[in-house]
Amino acid sequence: MAAGYNGRRSLRESPMRKALFLTLLLLAGCGKPQPPVGKWEGGTITGGSIVVARVEIGADGLIRVSAPDATNLDGVKPEVRMAQQAELQADLVNGWDEVKPRVLDFDGKTFRKPGGVAPQMIWDKATNQMTLEIFIGANPAFPVPLHPVPEFHDDPFSAG
């Protein structure tokens, strides 16, 4: 045993260990935000477009999204629009099992394709509302507000 060693840490060693511990603690808190787990659905009818949508985010962070749409419906008869909406809703329900999960980058609010810039979805933590950003042709993003649901419905416009 070295002369003068009493089993206690030196004063110089203790602050260094505290600094290292605090640094590791801070780094652990700076991890990548985890996306919210849950289900959202909804739809929108704007101008000549209809979109119905579902989003499901699993505990593993994988995301399933489906959003069938119809465009160029300006000036169509109401019964044609209603029939088109019913067809889209049926496509959403019947095709859901075929939707493959995907990975999106998430910064705590906005979802983007990996390495991408354009928002794909925006999550409002305070209201748990998800907004799906649909890009139809060369048009600007078409926001589709989605509401949280415990289970999906045949009519995504319903309040759950």
Share of the chain above pLDDT 90, in %: 68
Mean pLDDT of 97-115: 97
Lowest model confidence (mean pLDDT) among 71-75, 87-91, 102-106: 71-75
3-class DSSP state of 102:
strand
Lowest model confidence (mean pLDDT) among 19-33, 40-54, 77-91, 130-144: 19-33
Q: What is the pLDDT of residues 42-65, one digit of tens each?
A: 999 988 899 999 999 999 999 999
Can you list the positions of beta strands (E) in 13-107?
38-46, 49-57, 63-66, 69-70, 105-106
Domain count across the chain:
1
H/E segment holding residue 25: helix 13-29
- 35 CB burial (10 A radius; 0-12, 13-18, 19+): buried
Residue 121 to residue 133: CA distance in whole angstroms:
5
- For residue 108, is it within any domain? yes
| pLDDT at residue 15, rounded to an integer | 56
| pLDDT at residue 22, rounded to an integer | 47
- For residue 14, is it within any domain? no
Q: What is the pLDDT of residues 12-46, one digit of tens each?
A: 555 555 554 444 444 444 578 999 999 999 999 98
What confidence category does residue 158 fall into, taking pLDDT thresholds of 50, 70 and 90?
confident
Beta bridge partners of 43: 52
- For residue 31, is it within any domain? no
What domain range is 63 assigned to? 38-149
3-class DSSP state of 58:
coil
> Residue 28 carries which side chain, given as an amino acid letter?
A
Share of the chain above pLDDT 70, in %: 80
What's the CA dihedral at 97, 99, 102, 105 to 10 degrees? -110
- For residue 80, is it within any domain? yes
Residue 32 to residue 125: CA distance in whole angstroms:
16
